[in-house]
Structure formats: structure tokens, C-alpha cells
Chains A and B, each alone.
Chain A
Amino acid sequence: MEIGEPRRTYTVEPLEDPVPRELPEEAPEHERPADAPAEPEQVPGPTR
């Protein structure tokens, strides 16, 4: 490719990576700790 004579030199440091790198694998879903509080039980309301 003929692009002619040089004019100037500069340095480019892109803020975002121009290369779409491989996406990291998703971390396994966190398990609920054994001592995690259980869902509150629903208490039936007062009966008339």
C-alpha cells in the first residue's frame, strides 16, 4: 500500500481496549450460607 512520506509521529493510548477480548466465564452463582435467615413465615391475620 503506497501511503506517501511521513508527516509526524504520535502515540495513541486508547482508553478502551480496541480488541474484544474473550469474555471471562461467569462465576458460579453464590450459594446461600447455611445459617442465612429463612424467609419470614406468613402469620395468619386475626379472625373475626
Chain B
Amino acid sequence: MLIPGILISIVTFPGVIVHELAHQLFCRLYKIPVFKVVYFQAENTARYVLHEAPESKWQSIMIGIGPFFVNTILGALIALPSSLSVMEFHHSAGPLDILLIYLGVSIAMHAFPSTGDAQSIWQAVEEEGTPLWIRIIGFPIVGLIYLGALGSFIWLDALYGVGVVIGFPKLLISLMA
């Protein structure tokens, strides 16, 4: 079923905002100047963080994939108690559980970097003088991002969001048990 991207963005706006904020926070972490940020707009799906290209290629990669970590971890943590209660112990979901799971899924499903992020990483990695090990890491990441973008046509991003919310508690418990 094809649902316009703009509608998905509106419904899952917390994830969209967290995604852009993650780029910005990674820029701040690496002390990279930021010139403009568009966190969210209801009119179209364009949102971005306009920043200076870092000297360090590694920082370029990390700024590009930062949302993957931030959105995944934040989404998983927010939904964790309700996910355990509802999915594992089969309690009936209260309004708070629904809110937490909604937030968790919508944040985690926007963890995938966009094709715009991939392009920035590509530009940084293909520049002359980029160390080989950065290229070895960078190019597959770009490939994976494009694969993820293709996968979003079959709801891969949404599946990822749901997977994080359901799978993270199981993983955490397995590690702690």
C-alpha cells in the first residue's frame, strides 16, 4: 500500500525531529559549524541540517549516521517498559503504553540515514587523500543507506522501528539474565 511520505512524516513527526536533531548534536559534538536546520515541515518532506564539511572524514561519516544511533537508542529506551509490559507479559495496553510505544516506533523508524545523508558521506569519502580504511568503511555505509532507502518502499523503516521496540527488551534481558 502506497502512503505519501508526507503523511508518514506527519504521523511520525517525533522521529523526524529527533533525526535532524541528532545530526545537529553530532555537529556540535565535533564542533562543526551549522548554518541552517530544518527540523520538520508539514508542507513537504525536505528537512536537513546545513553544516560545514568537516576536515575529518570520520566525522563526516559519524554526522551522517548519527541519527541511526540516537533514534534507535532513544526509541528503544522510551518504549522499553511498555514493550515489556504489553508485548512480553501481555498486559492490556493503557493510554500511556500506547503513547510510549508510538513514540518508540516513530523515533526508531526514522533511524535510517536518508539518501541526502548518503550523498554527503559519499562526497566526503571520495575526496582525494581520504584514508583507505575510511573508504572501506564509508562506501559500504553509503550502499547500506541506499538499500535502506529502497527497503522503505516495502516498509523496512517501519519494520525496523517495530523490531527495535519489540526486540530491544528481549536482547537486553538476554544479556542481563
Tell me if chain B binds chain A. Answer: no
* A→B interface (CB under 8 Å): none
* B→A interface (CB under 8 Å): none
